[in-house]
Amino acid sequence: MTAIDLPQETARLLAQLGVDKAAFSNGARLVRTPITGQTIGRVADADARQTAAAIDAAHAAYLSWRLVPAPRRGELVRLFGDELRAHKAELGRLVSLEVGKIASEGLGEVQEMIDICDFALGLSRQLYGLTIATERAQHRMMETWHPLGVVGIVSAFNFPVAVWAWNAALALVCGNAIVWKPSEKTPLTALATQALFARALAKFGDAPAGLAAVLLGGRDVGHALVDHAKVALVSATGSTAMGRAVGPRVAQRFGRVLLELGGNNAAIVCPSADLDLAVRGLAFAAMGTAGQRCTTLRRLFVHSSVYDALIGRLKQAYLSVGIGDPLVPGTLVGPLIDKAAFDAMQAALAQAATLGGKATGGARVTDGFAADAFYVRPALVEMPDQTGPVLEETFAPILYAMRYDDLGDAIAKHNAVAQGLSSSIFTNDLREAELFLSARGSDCGIANVNIGPSGAEIGGAFGGEKETGGGRESGSDSWRAYMRRATNTINYGRTLPLAQGVKFDIG
Ligand code: NAD
């Protein structure tokens, strides 16, 4: 176990990041580090009055922020990116402390925030619409994109700050104000991010007050964002159960939603696959972040001709992977977030065993670890078929492996789950790769060749289909979700021809 005093270390990092001690010392909600289970902070939830006031202030801020030229709005995001660059080490370490990510993944999360700031800065000069040919003489038709208003951001524990940054950087350059409800499990990284953002605001100088708020709390705070008429878009990241509750509530008031929900991601390993590459790619995708990524590899279909060779090598990786304190160099698998995650993992493994599953790994690792910390050896479970827990997302490091003989059957099983986030195929056969990427192939929002399903970069649109919610965030043209489109028709002639040949002559 770590020799560092984690509560003290947390306080040191928060001070360096500019968070007032009162904000994490006196509240009723305890914040625990999964590394030891110790309490590392006490925060206060926002009450209904504070929540309503923050939304009203954000709406007022939006009314003036929308008038600021987009490249100038980009300047605020650039300044925030500078703060992140200057404090990457501290914020990355705080992510490791609060979520249990290994050091390089904590830093990688902050790098992702920096990357999206760079992307959004460039985007601030590229918020373009189309010009469209019209059927009427001396007319012009075009599309204009305008800000939406207040964007409510609800985020999950496993990417406690990067997901906010994906939304925030784009929403802000698009001219919106933002109100953030982070996971109740990760309020400290949210406070630190907000403090860095406050520094960027101070350097920017004249951004309207209330432009970016953070509201700590649980579902009730989430509900307030979801139900508030002034929140034009609710961008919610989390479980499918959360999305099922949030989606209809926002639809009820004709608000917009952007849902980034659970995944049950799979890979197919074909006879021609480079097995060295596959083993490395699959091991990271399945065991990295202790199986707590939405894009974690959870199902594996291996061609019978390479099944024994691949699974044998994967088993070795599962039995030898370094599990432990995420701050210690060499650790690849840190702790699960809490006991509930551990219990869910054990329940899934027990159910898989009753269905004929043969597990390698999966047990709790207790040697030298605190009683309130939940470390596990990742589990590789060979399943006779895709049944029971294989069809669900268990947010823990379990990889279910199955054989296949016909690629068409493997793709059918690949797609036969409710979720549709990420997917990959390992093959050196062009036909197999292209089939997997075609309309007959993977039904996911992300489909890769010769890399695993996890570890996306920000330049592409991120999100998935079916019960993953259909939202797209981050790169490509995802910015459009944060804006509304107006179609404009301009008549620069002296007559008034009507579309479709309609006549309406008032004489
Ligand atoms: P969760 O659903 O328990 O919580 C996510 C957030 O939603 C939290 O802030 C929570 O307070 C809030 N929330 C929960 N119920 C709500 C409700 N009824 N109304 C309003 N807000 C509500 O998820 P989690 O355990 O924090 O995160 C893990 C889940 O998130 C996994 O399913 C994972 O796949 C998913 N996830 C998806 C993506 C993606 O981009 N698709 C990214 C990260 C995590």
Please, which residues have CB within 8 angstroms of residue 117's CB and are 6 or more apart in sequence? 77, 78, 80, 81, 84, 165, 169
Residues 255 and 307 grouped into a single domain: no
Distance 476 CA to ligand 1 centre (A): 24
Residues 227 and 312 grouped into a single domain: no
Which residue's alpha carbon is nearest to atom 30 within ligand 1? 238
pLDDT tens digits, one per residue of 298-338: 999 999 999 999 999 999 999 999 999 999 999 999 999 99
CA–CA dist 38, 373 (Å, integer):
9
CATH number for the domain that contains residue 349: 3.40.309.10
Residues 241 and 293 grouped into a single domain: no
Residues 209 and 335 grouped into a single domain: no
Position 37 in a domain:
no
Task: Give the pLDDT score at 2.
Answer: 63
Q: How far is CA 393 from CA 199, 222, 298, 462, in A?
A: 39, 23, 8, 18
Instruction: Please confirm, yes or no, whether 294 is among the known catalytic residues.
Output: yes
156 lines ligand 1 (CB under 6 A): yes
CA-based nearest residue to 422, from 299, 333, 303, 337? 299
Task: Give the pLDDT score at 3.
Answer: 75
How much is the average pLDDT of 158-186?
A: 98
pLDDT tens digits, one per residue of 29-71: 999 999 999 999 999 999 999 999 999 999 999 999 999 999 9
CA–CA dist 238, 249 (Å, integer):
16
Position 340 in a domain:
yes
pTM for the full model?
0.98
Distance 155 CA to ligand 1 centre (A): 6
Task: Give the pLDDT score at 1.
Answer: 58
Instruction: Count how many domains the chain has.
Output: 2
The tokens for 310 are: 């691949």
Position 93 in a domain:
yes
Measured over the CA atoms of residue 281, residue 286, residue 289 and residue 292, the dihedral's sign is: positive
Instruction: Please confirm, yes or no, whether 393 is among the known catalytic residues.
Output: no
Distance 118 CA to ligand 1 centre (A): 26
Strand-pair partners of 485? 145
Which listed residue (105, 294, 382, 444) is catalytic?
294
CATH number for the domain that contains residue 206: 3.40.605.10
| Probe residue for ligand 1, chosen from 155, 158, 257, 467 as the CB with the greatest number of ligand atoms within 8 Å | 158
Residues 104 and 150 grouped into a single domain: yes
The tokens for 108 are: 């990688």
Distance 53 CA to ligand 1 centre (A): 24
Residues 283 and 228 grouped into a single domain: no
225 lines ligand 1 (CB under 6 A): no
Please, which residues have CB within 8 angstroms of residue 172's CB and are 6 or more apart in sequence? 65, 73, 76, 77, 120, 178, 211, 212
Residues 271 and 336 grouped into a single domain: yes
Which listed residue (75, 260, 382, 473) is catalytic?
260
DSSP state of 92: H
Task: Quickly state the pLDDT bin for 165 (edges 50, 70, 90).
Answer: very high
Per-position b or e across 143-159, b if 16+ CB within 10 A of its CB: eebebbbbbbbbbbbbb
On whether the CB atoms of residues 246 and 154 are closer than 8 A, the answer is yes
The tokens for 67 are: 């008038």
How would DSSP label each residue in 443-468? -SSEEEESS-S----TTSEE--EETT
246 lines ligand 1 (CB under 6 A): yes
Residues 442 and 476 grouped into a single domain: no
Look up the domain containing 398 and give its range. Answer: 265-457
Distance 238 CA to ligand 1 centre (A): 2
pLDDT tens digits, one per residue of 120-153: 999 999 999 999 999 999 999 999 999 999 999 9
Distance 183 CA to ligand 1 centre (A): 7
266 lines ligand 1 (CB under 6 A): no
Instruction: Report the atom number in ligand 1 closest to the C-alpha of 462.
Output: 40
| Probe residue for ligand 1, chosen from 242, 246, 249, 467 as the CB with the greatest number of ligand atoms within 8 Å | 242
